[in-house]
Structure 1
Amino acid sequence: MTLEPLLDAPLAVQFHVAAVTPAALLGAYILLNPKGTPLHRLLGKIWMALMAVTAISSFFIHQINLFHGFSPIHLLSIATLFGSWNAIAAARRGDIRRHKRMVASLYFGGIVLAGLFTLVPSRIMHRVVFTGAEWQASLVAALIGAILVAMVLRGRRRERIAR
């Protein structure tokens, strides 16, 4: 693992990674902890701001140039902006079920799924994670897998308790 490819990347990529990294960690924390508390609301606002910055910053990244500097991943950025707006609107009108669904979709689609695509060979994050010691890359993959499994199991446990 080396940060050199990221440090050599364009400023827009560095800014994007600087926004999405805390969004990924904070989002996992929020999803795994109690909802509706003042702390949840505060962290949720910070997370939504990070998601908006992440989505907006992606429009300045043009490494995959399929259509005038843009690629299909930019559609995900548009969906993230609309999804963030809808998640906030749902929470404000008290539609918590929709809010939860939207936030989970934003996290798993906008961070987890999009993050996995950054690990495709020839991408910057692939070089960051997989250059050098392969055991570190395996550790990162195992950690991501463990977090996802824990989140799914915790969600199922909560559903059984709610019934």
Structure 2
Amino acid sequence: MLLAKGTRRHRVIGYIWASLLGLVALSSFWIHDLRQIGPFSLIHLLSVYTLYNLVGGIRAAQRGKIDEHRSTMRQLFYVALIGAGAFTLLPGRDMHLVVFGQ
């Protein structure tokens, strides 16, 4: 996030990041440990949000709407990465046990 924007390096790293984020969001639909709405949970709404905004952010950049692209990608970073990371640390989750013990 601190490197120069609009460069070839930025685009390559951006496509790698977007691809991996999209892959993780898609893969979440095969995780059904926490069932709240049929086979899904509220965290799957975060996956839908992520995929929708990922496509929107990439389209904004391709159309030259750089402010919209920047805003969308920052939101994805904070909501999808940091927000989802916080969900993994909730009591009862495996990562909570790994980080905090019993």
TM-score interval, smaller chain: over 0.9
- CA displacement 1:89-117 (0-9 Å, x = unmatched): 00000000000000001110001011111
What's the counterpart of residue 52 of structure 1?
Answer: 22
Secondary structure, in 3 states, of the residue corresponding to 1:70? coil
Report the count of equivalent residues: 102
Structure holding more helix per residue = 1
| TM-score calculated relative to the size of structure 2 | 0.94
What's the counterpart of residue 74 of structure 2?
Answer: 104
Q: Structure 1: 5+ residue runs without aligned partners?
A: 1-30, 133-163
Which aligned runs of 4 or more in structure 1 are off by greater than 6 angstroms?
none
Q: Structure 2: 5+ residue runs without aligned partners?
A: none
| CA distance in structure 1 between the aligned counterparts of 2:90 and 2:2, rounded to whole angstroms | 28
* % same residue: 44
CA RMSD of aligned residues (A): 1.2
| TM-score calculated relative to the size of structure 1 | 0.60
Looking at CA atoms only, which structure, 1 or 2, has the larger radius of gyration? 1
Shift of 1:82: 0.7
Shift of 1:125: 1.3
Secondary structure, in 3 states, of the residue corresponding to 2:30? coil
Structure ranking higher on relative contact order (CA contacts 8 Å, 6+ apart): 1
